[in-house]
Amino acid sequence: MSIPVDARNGRATGVRGPAFLRGLAGVGVGVGGLAAGYGTTVLVASARAYCDAAWEPQHRFAFSFVEWPAIELLLLVAAVAVWAVARRWTAGLPLAWRGIVPAALVLLSLAVLAVGCFALLGTPDGYHGDSGLCPDSNIPPWWPSWLPA
């Protein structure tokens, strides 16, 4: 049984090359950035709702139509930009490192940005919450103390 070969370039037909895989990885990074953005917005909304801080109807409207898309866009652009820069930096490294280093940098940057978004948007400091479940800092008790907020 022989593998059909394209006469123009000598490659096996139906076999996709490295450019396809790089494009597929880029799409995966973009989807990962959007998923991280969604998780961050759920975290911010949960903290605000638990502490009842900045969770009145006008704040929910602003959160839904301004802050949520801004967080999604921020994390999407950050993930793709970090991935692209890391791919460029690791171009001369062995093959295993060219996959591991960009993925690790993307995950690290998304984690740092998610915690930063939570600290800035999820815990409105000085905003008097009505639930009585949170201190004046509006950091919910379920937030780990070892993570800054």
| Residue 67, Ramachandran bin (φ over 0: left; ψ between -120 and 50: alpha; else beta) | alpha
Q: What's the confidence (pLDDT) of residue 97?
A: 87
Q: Is the pLDDT of residue 6 over 70?
A: no
Q: Which residues contact 59 (CB under 8 A, 6 or more apart)?
A: 48
Q: In the chain, what percentage of residues exceed pLDDT 70?
A: 87
Output b/e per residue, 35-48; b: 16+ Cβ within 10 A: ebbeebbebbbebb
* Amino acid 128: pLDDT: 76
Higher pLDDT, 94 or 112: 112
Is residue 116 in some structural domain?
yes
Residue 110, domain member (yes or no): yes
- Considering the chain, what is the average pLDDT of its residues? 87
CA distance readout (Å), 68 to 58, 60, 136: 14, 10, 24
50 occurs within a structural domain:
yes
Comparing CA positions, the residue from 110, 118, 113, 145 lying closest to residue 48 is: 118
Q: Which of 32-41, 89-98, 102-111, 124-133 has the lowest mean pLDDT?
A: 124-133
Mean pLDDT of 35-59: 93
pLDDT of residue 19: 67
Number of domains in the chain: 1
Handedness of CA 44, 45, 48, 53 (dihedral sign): positive
Residue 79 is assigned to a structural domain of this protein: yes
The arithmetic mean of pLDDT across residues 55-82, rounded, is 94
**CA gap 102, 87 in Å, rounded:** 6
What per-residue confidence (pLDDT) applies to 2? 62
User: Is position 31 within any domain?
Assistant: yes
Two structure tokens written together for 69: 């898309």
13 within domain boundaries:
no
Please check the confidence at residue 70 and state whether its pLDDT lies above 60: yes
Q: Is residue 52 part of a domain?
A: yes
Residue 54: give the domain boundaries.
24-122
Q: What is the pLDDT of residues 93-103, one digit of tens each?
A: 888 888 899 99
Q: ∠93-98-103 over CA atoms, to 5°? A: 145
> Is 91 a domain residue?
yes
